[in-house]
Structure 1
Amino acid sequence: MTTNRPVVGGDTTVVVEVLSARGRPVENLPVELSYEGAEAVHALTGATGRVQAAWAAGAAGERKVRATVRRLPTTYLGVRVPASGSRVAVAGRRTVREGTARVIVRARPQVTAIPAAQTRAAGRPFKVWLTTSGTGHATKALVRATLYGPFPSAADSSCAGEKVALSRRAMIVGDDRVRVRRISLRAGVYRWKVIRPDDAWNTARTTCTRPLRVVRR
């Protein structure tokens, strides 16, 4: 049994393959696939010995998938399922094979830098926070922020190129905000590019903030 790496808003896909002891596909065997919190799928194995099912991945977190193969001849025990959590029940010359797998539906977290899309005075130090929200699990991530600028106007600003004013980073656990060193900027328009890497529970996320204006006072 194999699964994809589902993400919130996508699908969880599971494939079960039934092979004979000689490694050949076994056709027309009834398979039940169940996904925690969803309706089970019933199907027969095809010419490739496979059955596939998909469910909507509506919320982040850990889910259990169970595959049950029925009417399996006793000579056909090559069902690809995890060794742990599997079970074989013999009934005459036929068996029932069950296997389970753990699936993690990954979240799509949000990251940003504060302040952003505000106006600050040139030459005056101000505080900066890096924030994460919507994470699927309280995992630790090294969040990196790069401030691009100064640009002459908001229309000319971007989160790319050689105009790098400074960079900051912080280790953030789950949904939180962490203050980094104060910064002081000269007049112009800036943008933060904030990056959170992916992990087992979350997808990678990159944010380019709206323009931060620094003016002479």
Structure 2
Amino acid sequence: MLEQAGFEAQQAANGEEAVDLFRIWHPHFIWLDRHMPVMDGLEALGRIRALPGGQKTPIVLLTATLFEDSPEAVAVPGSDGLLRKPFQAEQVFETMRQRLGLRYRYAEEPPAVAAATELGPDPAGVARLDGGLRLALRRAADVLDVEAARRIVEDIALQDPALARGLGQLLDNYRFDQIAALLDDGRPASG
């Protein structure tokens, strides 16, 4: 999502890789998942802050386990913020705008595309989807994995091309929240 918006981005598979990547790359901004293998996000946060330049780099934590009334919802020492998953692309870009002082230039959507996006995919079509496809799409939506979601939508196109087009439009606009809501409304997607 960030690369498609013109940002240069690197990804680490775990907290230890995040620390190592910071040592060689020195990014302007870090999104850091709280729960990662090998080294969790809080430990990685502390280690990055202890490195040269680590105090100046904005680091915002991502979490799927945060509850509104938890003490964690207020602040995590050393972080520059906390964003709860699933989140919308607008939240990501707004957080970066605030922390980095960015200004964005938006392209206008052609009216036909905007109207088609507003209609969205048919919830009944989502409910009829194979449970495995729905579960896989929900997992991809939960972690904001555009590439995995697109592969799943390609599989959906074999069953329902119109539904796949609608889901593809949501993906084009990073509306993982709407995809998740459609999947939730189409119950059951467990498995």
TM-score bracket for the superposition, by shorter chain length: under 0.3
Say which structure is richer in helix.
Answer: 2
Bigger-Rg structure (1/2): 1
Greater per-residue strand proportion: 1
* TM score, norm. by length of structure 2: 0.23
